[in-house]
Amino acid sequence: MYQRGGGILMPGREKNGGRHGPSISFGDHEHGHVPNEIDRKGHGDAAHDLRIVAERVQDLRHSQSEADTKRAKQQYAQRSRVRKIQYIQSSREEFSPYRILNFLCLQTEGIEVTAEIDFIGQQNIMLDLENKALKQWLESLSQEHLIKRYQHEMFEREIGSLRTLFQQQQQHVP
């Protein structure tokens, strides 16, 4: 419901038994009823007129303040609704069937890769053991080769000394 006051339509407030508007109404010109003190007296005194004008300005400021508060609340509610819609949309995207399927595929791949890594790890352990055994065998072959080389050198020296001895014996035999 709107009330008339000074040519401006303003939202009214219920007061005084259901009547709309401030306690001093600005007039109901439709029914020929004029309760305004200024209109009743004709010209009224200046202090009273100023008081009425001040009340009108205060009511106007109060209604503007209420409108600003209402607008701020509406904007806050609108931003809240937008955030809620964005959250719901991101939740839908996060749990969409494609993403779930993709997640399950990646999980399956992860399990397969983990199994493959375990298998390769076991093969690596076996190859490490085999490598150690081959290194030991190579070390033993190297030692055998060294021993045989020393034996060969020793046999070569002995052959040389036996030849020298044989040649000496051949020269002394008449």
Report how far residue 10's alpha carbon sits from residue 22's, in angstroms, rounded to the nearest whole number.
11
**Gyration radius (Cα) of the chain, Å:** 56
Domain boundaries defined on the chain: 2-94
Task: Centre a 10 Å sphere on the Cβ of residue 25 and count the other Cβ atoms it contains.
Answer: 19
pLDDT in tens, 132-142: 999 999 999 99
Distance from the Cα of residue 67 to its chain's centroid? 38
Report how far residue 70's alpha carbon sits from residue 145's, in angstroms, rounded to the nearest whole number.
101
- The tokens 């390769």 sit on which residue? 120
- What DSSP string runs through 64-128? HHHHHHHHHHHHHHHHHHHHHHHHHHHHHHHT-HHHHHHHHHHHHHHHHHHHHHHHHHHHHHHHH
pLDDT in tens, 49-100: 888 888 888 887 778 888 888 888 899 999 999 999 988 888 777 777 777 7
pLDDT of residue 65: 81
Q: What is the pLDDT confidence band of residue 45, given thresholds at 50, 70 and 90?
A: confident
Contact 2, 11 (CB under 8 A): yes
CB burial readout 45-72, b (16+ within 10 A) else e: eeeeeeebeeebeebeeeeeeeeeeeee
pLDDT of residue 44: 57
pLDDT in tens, 122-167: 999 999 999 999 999 999 999 999 999 999 999 999 999 999 999 9
Could you tell me what percent of the chain has a pLDDT over 70?
Answer: 74
Phi and psi torsions of 39, nearest 5° = -70, -35
Secondary structure class of 8 (helix, strand, coil): strand
pLDDT in tens, 14-39: 444 444 444 444 444 444 444 444 44
Contact 11, 63 (CB under 8 A): yes
Has residue 11 got a pLDDT over 70?
Answer: no
Report how far residue 145's alpha carbon sits from residue 137's, in angstroms, rounded to the nearest whole number.
12
Report how far residue 21's alpha carbon sits from residue 5's, in angstroms, rounded to the nearest whole number.
9
pLDDT of residue 43: 53
